[in-house]
Every structure is written in structure tokens, then in C-alpha cells.
Amino acid sequence: MLNRRHALTALAASVVMLSGFPAFALDKSAFSQAAFDAAMKAGKSVLIDVSAPWCPTCKAQAPILSELAKQPRFKNLVVFNVDFDSQKDALRGFKAQQQSTLIVFKGGAEMGRSVGDTNKASIEALLARAI
């Protein structure tokens, strides 16, 4: 029999899991040119995620990226989110013409990009180019 305490505990756990609790999400930083330049200068592996909150493809990419981020080989990948609607200078700088664009860098050089991809295997292969 389910008592009130068990029901509330189960409800709280469900809310935490569905709310995008940080332990289950990809750690993205909002893009800034200074932070990107510092990562490039330091030779970091970087993913640029161009997205928009209204984009269904971006929403489909998000759980794939979060799942891949849990893999130990991607733990040092620095991820910057470029907002498609408000960061037009960054879009021009990266020559990104649409949302759902993923661009990877390693050692200061672009290693690959994809647009509109929601296939886990090909996104994983793209990220692997950066490590």
C-alpha cells in the first residue's frame, strides 16, 4: 500500500528527473568570445552548439548530447551554447547559417561540423574528432 510519504517521495523524484537536474544535463556555458578564445589558446577540445529554444531539432539533439557527455572520453569537452536568435555576431564568426549546428574544435582548429543531425552515432563521431 502506498502511503503519503512514499507518494510524495516518488513525486519529488519525478520532478527532479524531468526538470533537467544538472547531474543529468550537458554542462553548457553561454558563448562569449573571450571564453572561446581562452579555450582555443589553451588547446581545449570545444563544441559549439548553435541552438534556439523553439527549434525541434535542437530539442532532439539535447538528450543525445547529454547522454554522450556522460562518457568518460568526453569529460574534458568544453561546450558553448550560441543562441541563434540573439548572438548574430557569433553566428557570422562561425559561419553558422541555421540553428541545430554543431561545430567541434581541437587545438584551435575546426575539426568538423554538422547541421540538423539527430543521429546519436554520427554526433558521437563528430564529438570524437575533438578529442
Report the distance separating Cα 129 and Cα 74, nearest Å.
Answer: 11
Report the distance separating Cα 27 and Cα 47, nearest Å.
Answer: 11
Report the distance separating Cα 46 and Cα 61, nearest Å.
Answer: 17
Query: Which set of grid coordinates corresponds to residue 1?
Result: 500500500
**What amino acid positions are annotated as catalytic residues?**
55, 58
